[in-house]
Amino acid sequence: MDARIIQGLNRVAAPFTQVSLSFLQLPEEFRQLFQNGNKDRYSPLAYARLMAGSLFPQYGRIVYLDADVLLAGDVAELYFSDLRGASVAAAGDGLALWSIEKGTMHPHLEYMGNYLSSPLSYCNSGVLVLDLDQMRRRNLEHRLLQWLRSRPEPFPYPDQDILNIALHGDITPLPPEWNFQFLSWTWDEEKTRLLRGTEFENVPSISCGRSWKLLHMVGPEKPWRLPDAPGTMGQFHWILYSFFWWPEAKKLPAFRKELDAISQGLAPLLRRHIRGQQWKLFFSRGHIFRKRRDKIRWLKKLLSILDGRKP
């Protein structure tokens, strides 16, 4: 991070007296190890969470959160999660839920089956409660580094895969509401039935009631970037995430200038897309008509958020 970014982050934190920020230099030995990351999508810094015991020797327990999350619950509740003797708490990944729902193992979990005795226990590393004292006692950092050194090529999901492999059997599951990754999923009675008795059993009710405690905007689509091409699943995700992210982001006065600039760039794109969908609506029939009509309503709501009006 350069000085400008650090100053901007400090401005964001300044109004919150209970918040303080500190910045660490990654040790050179770690920096060299992390250079084999998938740089197209992942920063080598993604591995740093695996080294938390060394980076934060003054702490016995920490909470790690990805940057693409919205916290709706009390983070203290997450911090005091019962780890049941494990070193780490993490929520199940969407790939595991996908596998249960489809009745077949996701290709990535099939691949992970070469390393895990129970691939369906595969966890998402975007939200972690780390018992650093326990990790130090069990010398888990050494195990993680061994896996990192032993791979000439990175795993598809580098730090997440390594964390699941090295800590397999030493991760206690977090409730899905503390890492809710399923905003765009749809549910019916059959899908809900398949989840009974699994750690994802409450996901449909959490989704319908919007009762998550932490929303994780997984995937490459982020509401602060330009949306994907019209009509794609990526744009659908972008619209969903934006409904929740933009109203909260606009409450941060330190970033108002930057957010207004993004909003002014996105609004014309949405208006053009709405006009295009309205034109096509004249030639649509049946379920295509209803689908386009609903999409126009969604886009208009999103535009109202960007314009600062009540949707």
Residues facing 7 on adjacent strands:
none
Q: What is the pLDDT of residues 238-281, one digit of tens each?
A: 888 988 998 888 887 777 777 778 777 788 888 888 888 888 88
Report the pLDDT value the prediction gives residue 113, as an integer from 0 to 100.
95
The DSSP call for residue 193 is H
Contacts 24+ apart (CB under 8 A), 50-54: 50/141, 50/144, 50/148, 50/159, 50/162, 50/163, 51/141, 51/144, 52/130, 52/132, 52/135, 53/130, 53/132, 53/135, 53/136, 53/140, 53/141, 54/27, 54/141
Q: Three-class SS of residue 90?
A: strand
pLDDT at 152 over 80: no
pLDDT at 28 over 80: no
pLDDT at 35 over 80: no
Q: What is the pLDDT of residues 121-150, one digit of tens each?
A: 999 999 999 999 999 999 988 888 888 777
The one-letter amino acid at 80: F
Instruction: Compute the distance between CA of residue 164 and CA of residue 231 in angstroms, rounded to an integer.
Output: 35
| Cβ neighbours, 10 Å, residue 168 | 17
3-state secondary structure 217-279: CCCCCCCCCCCCCCCCHHHHHHHHHHHHHHHHHCCCHHHHHHHHHHHHHHHHHHHHHHHHHHH
Q: What is the pLDDT of residues 51-83, one digit of tens each?
A: 899 889 999 999 999 999 999 999 999 999 999
